[in-house]
Amino acid sequence: MDCYVGAATGALKGLVLRDGTFMNVNNIPDLKPKEDEITRMCFADVEQVEILTGHANRQVKLFDTLVASHNKLFEVQGGSGPIQGLQMTSNGNIVAGVESGEVMVYESDGTLVSSDIKAGEDLRIVAKNPMAEQIATGGKKELLRIWDLETQKETWKAKNVKPDWLQIPIPIWVSNARYLDDNGLIVTTTGRYQIHVYDPRAQRRPVKELEWLDMPIHALSTTYKPMHIMAGNTKGELAQFDLRNKITALGKYRGFAGSIRSIDCHPSSPYAVSCGIDRFVILHDMETRKIVKKIYCKARLNQLVMKKALSLLDNAPKAPKRELDSDEEDDEDEFSGMKKIKEEF
């Protein structure tokens, strides 16, 4: 399997991008959509063999790709609302944040390590710093914050952008966030169709900002190019942005008919896979902006993760083209003629 996608029904699907096929990897008849809806996903190990899934009923499950088992690890205690953030730390602990703002740290067996982080109501994102034991949180009413996982203390908090020309405060609504580089730069998207870049070393307000179209931006991913991102909004618009000097849109990617919920880009190749409520998983070539594969998955899709080892990147030798004998050449010519007539019709 090349990537795994979680649906609003609770179904977990594995996709082979080379063939454009998918299969359900959990037991569909046993699912209860209101409880089992997959709200967050992440890989549980460096080898990308295990996948963590967070659900609307606050359960955290582990899917083992080697034995195809999807088992419950534990249920998040404290707070209220579905799981809105799910991350793995470098020491193997699991960070889970719920909608009411409580962020808990668990051991892999479900033992609670800490529940001291209070990230505010309407939590929407928990992003892990890959270079340090830090997380960034944000929500519909809460500005971006950075927390130290060892001390459980807040180390930095953003400041809202300046009011508009009528001196009306701009709503916050942080919808997604990603760490950009080793220096701790963070990019966020908002429900107010904004893209912000924060440098905690420099100031509390964004160092760069852009308003993109007029629809909430919920899907976000870094790409194989440094300081480049992919973002998708609720209208089905998907685009790549260059964040190096000022935030610049490099071009849009077509194919969606509804809200884009999740994007994941390959870390070393120009491939981006995305999904949304139109039930399609689409693989784009980021250089040509063309659709490589478009796979219908039969359910509204919320989250996806893509593996580093893609079947599309395998350098398998192609079978040599076999020469046709005289009878087969006649059949081939006849078929080509029929195809041409059909196209003209």
**Cβ atoms within 10 Å, residue 69:** 12
Q: Is 143 inside any structural domain?
A: yes
- Give the helix, strand, coil percentages of the chain, each rounded to 5: 10, 45, 45
pLDDT for 327 equals 43
* pLDDT band (50, 70, 90) for residue 335: very low
Contacts within 8 Å (CB) and 24+ apart, 171-175: 172/138, 172/139, 172/140, 172/141, 172/142, 172/143, 173/140, 173/141, 173/216, 174/124, 174/125, 174/138, 174/139, 174/140, 174/142, 174/143, 174/144, 175/124, 175/125, 175/138, 175/216, 175/217, 175/218
Q: Is 194 inside any structural domain?
A: yes
pLDDT at residue 319 above 70? no
| Least confident piece of the model among 181-190, 192-201, 241-250, 307-316 | 307-316
pLDDT for 312 equals 84
Of all residues in the chain, the percent with pLDDT exceeding 70 is 91
In whole angstroms, give the CA distance from residue 112 to residue 102.
Answer: 13
* pLDDT band (50, 70, 90) for residue 331: very low
* pLDDT, averaged across the chain: 89
pLDDT for 278 equals 95
Q: Which secondary structure element, helix H or strand E, spans residue 329, and what is its range?
A: helix 326-344
In whole angstroms, give the CA distance from residue 118 to residue 233.
Answer: 28
pLDDT at residue 334 above 90? no
Q: Is 237 inside any structural domain?
A: no
In whole angstroms, give the CA distance from residue 266 to residue 188.
Answer: 20
pLDDT at residue 21 above 90? yes
User: What would the DSSP string read from start to end of 121-158?
Assistant: SSEEEEEE-TTSSEEEEEESS---EEEETTTTEEEEE-
pLDDT for 116 equals 92
Residues 6 or more apart whose CB falls under 8 angstroms from that of 304 comprise 3, 4, 5, 6, 41, 262, 264, 273, 274, 275, 281
Q: Is 297 inside any structural domain?
A: no
Q: Is 68 inside any structural domain?
A: yes
Please tell me which residue, 103 or 336, carries the higher pLDDT value. Answer: 103
Average pLDDT over residues 179-188: 93
Domain extent for 196: 37-200
User: What would the DSSP string read from start to end of 228-261?
Assistant: EEEEEETTS-EEEEE-SSS-EEEEEE---SS-EE
Q: Is 20 inside any structural domain?
A: no
pLDDT for 205 equals 96
pLDDT at residue 137 above 70? yes
pLDDT at residue 69 above 60? yes
* pLDDT band (50, 70, 90) for residue 314: low
- Tell me the sheet residues that pair with 281: 275, 295
Question: 125 and 135 in contact (C-beta within 8 Å)?
Answer: no
pLDDT for 199 equals 96
DSSP E strand stretches across 29-93? 38-43, 50-55, 59-64, 69-75, 83-88
Q: Is 96 inside any structural domain?
A: yes
Q: Is 245 inside any structural domain?
A: no
Q: What angle do CA 317, 323, 328 make, to 5 degrees?
A: 130
* pLDDT band (50, 70, 90) for residue 340: very low
Question: 136 and 129 in contact (C-beta within 8 Å)?
Answer: yes
pTM equals 0.87
pLDDT for 316 equals 37
Q: Establish how many alpha carbons lie within 13 A of residue 328's alpha carbon, considering only the half-sphere containing its beta carbon.
A: 4
Number of domain units in the chain: 1
Q: Give the 3-state secondary structure of residue 334.
A: helix
CATH number of the domain that residue 63 is part of:
2.130.10.10
pLDDT at residue 315 above 90? no
The torsion angles phi and psi of 288, rounded to 5 degrees, stand at -90, -15
pLDDT for 181 equals 87
